[in-house]
Chain A
Amino acid sequence: MTVNCSLPRMLFALLLALIAPAAAGAQQASQNSPSLAFTMRYIQQNAVEGRLTYTADVIDSAQSGAVWRNSFTAETSNLTADAPSCRLTYHWRTEVNGSVTDDADYTLPLREVGSVQVVPQDKNQALVDSRTGHPQWTSRVSPFVYALVASRSGGVENVFLFSSEETAYRVAKAMRHAVELCASGKDTF
Chain B
Amino acid sequence: MTNSPFSAASLLAFTVLALAPAIGQQATPPAFDSGSALDPTMQFIEARLNAIGPIRYVISWKNTNDGSTSTNTIMDLQSKFSADSTRCRISFHDKMISASRIDHDGDFDFLLNSAQSVSVEPLSQLDSEFAAESGSPNFIATSTAPAQFALVVHLNDGKKLNFDFADEGAANGVSKAMTRAIELCAGGASDPFALTAEERSAIETDQQETAERGRQFAALQAQKVAEQQAAEQARQAELQAQQQAAAEAQAHDQAIAACNKQCEATKKSCLRGAHTLHALSFATAMLGALNNNSDAVNTGTDGMDSAHNDGQTCNDNADACKANCQ
B210 within 8 A of A: yes
The verdict on B191 contacting chain A, using a C-beta distance below 8 Å, is yes
Which of A50, A67, A118 gathers the greatest number of chain B CB atoms within 10 Å?
A67
* A65–B213 CB distance below 8 A: no
Q: Is the CB of A169 within 8 A of B203?
A: yes
Q: Does the CB pair B224–A65 fall under 8 Å? A: yes
Known: A66-B224, A165-B203. A48 touches B86 (CB 8 A): yes
Question: How far does the Cβ of A83 sit from chain B's closest Cβ, in whole Å?
Answer: 15
A91 within 8 A of B: no
- Confirm or deny: A23 has a beta carbon within 8 angstroms of a beta carbon on chain B: no
The contact string, 1 if C-beta is below 8 Å from chain A, for chain B 208-225, is 011001100110110011
| Interchain CA distance A45-B214 in the complex, whole Å | 32
Contact of A45 (CB < 8 Å), options: B185, B195, B210: B185
Least CB distance, B170 to chain A, in whole angstroms: 27
- Given the known inter-chain contacts A138-B220, A173-B195, please indicate yes or no for A42 contacting B186, CB distance below 8 A: yes
**Looking at chain A's contact residues, is the secondary structure mostly helix, strand, loop, or mixed?**
mixed
Task: Decide yes or no whether A90 CB sits under 8 A from chain B.
Answer: no
Q: Is the CB of B185 within 8 A of A67?
A: no
For A49, what are the chain B residues with a Cβ–Cβ distance below 8 Å? 87
Number of A-B contacts (CB under 8 A): 90
A3 within 8 A of B: no
Please report the total number of A residues contacting B with Cβ < 8 Å: 34
Closest to A48 in B: B86
Residue of B38, B114, B199, B220 near A164 (CB, 8 A) is B114
Complex: how many Å from CA A166 to CA B193?
11
A33 is an interface residue with CB less than 8 A from chain B:
yes
Q: Which of B199, B203, B231 contacts A64 (CB 8 A)?
A: B231
CB-based contact A45/B203 at 8 Å: no
Say yes or no: is B24 at the interface (Cβ < 8 Å to chain A): no
Cβ contact within 8 Å between B224 and A120:
no
A64 touches B87 (CB 8 A): no
CA distance A164 to B221 in the complex (A): 26
Q: Which residue of A lies closest to B199 (CB)?
A: A169
B227 and A64 contacting across the interface, CB-CB below 8 Å: yes
A67 to B229, CA, bound (A): 12
B206 CB within 8 Å of chain A? yes
- Say whether A170 contacts B213, CB under 8 Å: no
B4-29 contacts to A (CB < 8 Å): none
Closest to A170 in B: B193
* Contact call A144/B224, Cβ cutoff below 8 A: no
If A45-B185, A165-B203, A167-B111 touch, whether A65 touches B225 (CB-CB below 8 Å) is yes
Give 28 pairs: A residue, B residue, CB < 8 Å, sorted on A. A45-B88, A46-B113, A46-B185, A48-B87, A50-B86, A50-B87, A59-B220, A59-B221, A64-B227, A64-B228, A64-B231, A65-B224, A65-B228, A66-B224, A118-B206, A120-B210, A122-B210, A138-B220, A140-B213, A140-B214, A144-B210, A164-B111, A166-B156, A166-B195, A167-B114, A170-B194, A170-B195, A174-B193
14 additional A-B residue pairs with CB within 8 Å, beyond A138-B217, A164-B111? A33-B192, A38-B192, A46-B113, A46-B185, A48-B87, A50-B87, A59-B220, A61-B220, A122-B213, A165-B207, A166-B156, A167-B113, A170-B113, A173-B199
